[in-house]
Amino acid sequence: MARPGRLAASIALAAGAALVGPATSGADSVYVLRLVSITVSGTLTDTGKPGPSRGDHFDMKDTLVNAVRQLGKPKGARVGSDRARLELVSATKSEISGIARLPGGTVTFEGGFTVRAGGTFAVPIVGGTGRWAKARGTLTVYPPFAQNRTINVFRIGVPLTA
């Protein structure tokens, strides 16, 4: 069995076509949240032959803290959490699905993604609850992937309520 970090990175790097749409399509309010994601737990499941193969997945839970002052809290304040599953769906494609708990509700993200130069990838935001109801946009994950930390930028468009 491969080491969790290597297999998770292999799953991410095996990603195929991007399915990311515009962050503000049809939205009346747009929010850009810059958060540090700190992995608190992760479980790698290697379902096939040793090394990266279809069905391998990495389940993770993260704490989200402000990378800048926002959401009425200072930089470094804990503002939420997320959980996600990164899964290898073929030799060249990965998908991720998850939910982020933020002040006022949740944001759901899921879809395929392509890893860009430097290890950055983006995934569609496809819904939410509470303050984030009917959210659309993108979640972009930026390295470094060191010390179980990444920078997550949520670009969230939500319709104004009447």
pLDDT at 128: 97
Amino acid 33: pLDDT: 98
Q: What is the C-alpha separation between 114 and 13, in angstroms, rounded?
A: 8
Q: Domain 4-158 adopts which CATH fold?
A: AOC barrel-like (2.40.480)
Q: What is the pLDDT of residue 156?
A: 96
The pTM (predicted TM-score) of the whole model is 0.79
Question: pLDDT tens for residues 102-117?
Answer: 999 999 999 998 788 8
> What does the alpha-carbon distance between residue 160 and residue 145 come to, in Å, rounded to a whole number?
35
Q: What tokens appear for 69 in the block? A: 């002052």
Q: For residue range 45-78, what is the model confidence (pLDDT) as tens digits? A: 888 777 788 888 999 999 999 999 999 999 999 9
